[in-house]
Amino acid sequence: MTRTANHTSNEEHEHEHDSDLMHTALVACALGIHRNIAACHAHIARGDGVHALTAALMLPCYRAEFRKIAQSLSSAQASELRTALEALQEPA
C-alpha cells in the first residue's frame, strides 16, 4: 500500500509541476505577444515602408490573440501578467 500511496503522491506532484509550467507558459506567451504589439507600434510610428505595412496588418491579429489569452488566465496569472507589464513600463 505504501507503494501505491507514493505513486499517487508522485503523480500529484507531476500534475502540479505540469500545471505550474502551463501557468508560466501562458503568461510568457502573453508577454511575447505584448512585445510583438509594441514592435508593431514602433514600426508604424517610424513609417518604415513594408515593415510598417506588415505591422499594420498584423497588429489586429496580435491584439486579438492577446485578448484571447488574457481572458483565459486565472486571477493569479492575470496578476502575474499585470506585474510583468508594469515592470516593462518602468524607466530603466
Residue spans per domain, the chain: 2-89
Residues of the chain scoring pLDDT < 50: 1-2
Grid coordinates belonging to 6:
507514493
Exposed, middle or buried: residue 20 (CB in 10 Å: 0-12, 13-18, 19+)? exposed
Q: Rounded CA gap, 19 and 58, in Å?
A: 31
Q: Report pLDDT for 87.
A: 92
Q: What is the pLDDT of residue 25?
A: 92
pTM, whole model, 2 decimals? Answer: 0.73
